[in-house]
Structures are given as structure tokens and as C-alpha cells.
A and B are shown apart, each in its own frame.
Chain A
């Protein structure tokens, strides 16, 4: 093989290695390949995913949660305190295909996720949403550092309605919520999940 041919072969090898490096570097990860599809919407508007129709009706801030409406022999507290701030998000939810559990629902502020409290007795929006076509209304509650709610990120909070089941390659509803400037009340009432009146 002539010197020229050898140089051409070496350059071809280098070029192929470079292409392989770019392909590996830009290839999606295994998590990317099965990541969910986020369906975004604004507060006050219905957001529809494959399994759920969700509408955020508003948000409230409080130092103490009144959970007396959630009656249970196994849960004796009426008031839930926090050293931080409770964020209560009121929502109307309707399953579309089968009943849905949203026990992994998160509030996302500036890239940090806060999980909805899930230890209140049923019925809550976290535990169970009824059969398709039957809308439920109620509240989610999140414990969030007070300083976070006073930051710029509070104006661009997101409610991420996630099931405890795997959401790979499935829809997830994400609703924008503006928490900036909301008054922090002493006590806010946590609404149990109840069947909502149907809309005409």
C-alpha cells in the first residue's frame, strides 16, 4: 500500500471515530427514550391528558391547615401546623378512561419539587379520583419553605399531576400557577374530595 493510500485510510478511520463520538454524545439516554409527555396549561383552564381532565381553580397560602372535614377514626388531628408555609391548590379533576390515583402529585418551583401530603384520610384528590365522567373537586396541600414562596420562582409555580404508577411514555398534566403576592392566612380549610356538579 502506498503512503498516500495509508494516509487516506487513517483519515477515514479518524473521521469515522469522530462521527461515532458525535452519535454517542448526542444519542438520547434510556430515560429520555421513555420520558413522559408533558401537557401544559394555565390555571383556570381545563388541561386534558390521555387519562385525565384537570382544572386548577386557585391557590391559597396558610400557616395552619384545618383538616377537620376529613373525618377518620385513624387520624385525630383537626389542625396541621408547619414551620414553613402550606400551599393549598384547589382543583377539579375528572378521569377519562379509568379511576386515577394522583398520589405522586408535585408542586414544582424553580426546579425543586414538593410532594402533596398523602397521609390525610380519604377522600382526598391525592388518593382517588372516581370513575370516568364523574368530576371531583377538592384540594392538594404542599409544605413549602417560606423563603421559596417569597422568591421570584413563586410566580411560575407548576402543579404536576402525577400518578404513583409509572408515567413512561404517557401524558402528565402540568398547570401553571402564580403564587406570588398571595396573602398567608392563619388557617385555611383543606377540602375533601367531593363529587362536583356537572357542567351543562
Chain B
């Protein structure tokens, strides 16, 4: 009898304190093109997304029947050591064309047209994330969802000590539309 009374009391207290209330749904933060997102290693400013049959800077053309979805972002490493996370920080999702889990086919350092290497501390870098997609699958005005990811340090890992990181996790969403390819600056000439 006493046991039932104690259990009932505990349940009552939990209920009064809100223990049985519905867990509020946590919405993923949404930011706009041009906004700065500050993560653990990098700041990210998504500048725009567009489709083209030519990669920026290096001018490489898409194969017949294909085109590129290009997302340009400005990244800056805010730590005191080189970061190799830059190529993983942005992902795109376009209905029936690109799944959110698909990595870009190429990630370019826009200034030099080379594949993105590590990002130096305090060196802002314009980066182009490029997916190869079927021609005519995406057009100007189509919606594109861009995910910004972050990774978090793991302390006391049995193998890597304090140098390990979690898998990249989605921390913000940028919802925008694909720019008209005609509005994009043409690639500048590269010395060969």
C-alpha cells in the first residue's frame, strides 16, 4: 500500500513538473544567402547557387548531356591550425536531382581553380562546391536547399586522444533558388 502511494506521489510530481509534456520540436536554424554562419572551425557565407556548363576559374566544360550545379561560399578558418573540413561544410539538396547525402564532385579554390586544400587560419577563401547533374534537370528559379555542417571535437578518444572529431552534423539550412546562369560572371582567363 505504502509502495503504491510513493509511486503515485513520484508520478504526480513528475507530471506537475512537466515530465509528460510533449517534447517541443527543435527546428533547424535557417539563414539567408549572405548571412555569416560561425561554426567551431569555420565561418561560412553562402553567396549564391547557379547552373552552368562550365566550371568557374578553370573553365572546364561539362560532358555532353551534363551540367554543373555550383554553390559558391566564402569560408574562413577561425582556429589557430589548418582545417581540412572546408570541402565537407556545404551540401545541396534539389528534388529528384541531388540527395542531401551526396558529396560534391569537385570542390575548388575559386581564386586559383585548384582543388581545395586545407584552409589556413585567418585566410578567407572563396570556394566553389560543384555537382555534376543531368542537363536541363535544374533551371534558374528552382529551389535548392543548402545544408551547412559542423564537426565537434571528441576528447579522450582511445586511439586519437583529444584529436578526434564527430561525423559532420547539419547545423543550419540555407533555402534559396538557382540563379540564372546568364547573371553569373564569366570565367576569367587562366594562364596556361
| A interface list, Cβ under 8 A from B | 29-31, 75-84, 106, 111-115, 117-119, 142-145, 147-148
Contacts and interface: CB of A to CB of B under 8 A. Distances in A.
Contacts of A81: 111-112
B39 interface: no
B123 A84 contact: yes
B113 A77 contact: yes
Contacts, number: 58
Contacts of B124: 83
Interface of B: 80-82, 111-115, 117-118, 120-124, 156, 161-162, 190-192
Considering the complex of A and B, which 6 residue pairs feature the smallest CB-CB distances, nearest first?
A115-B82, A112-B80, A145-B122, A114-B120, A112-B121, A113-B81
A31 B161 contact: yes
Nearest to B158: A30
Contacts of B122: 112, 145, 147-148
A117 B190 CA distance: 20
A7 to B, nearest CB: 39
A142 B117 CA distance: 12
A30 B123 contact: no
A118 B117 contact: yes
A170 to B, nearest CB: 16
A115 B81 CA distance: 8
Given A113-B81, A114-B82, A77 B120 contact: no
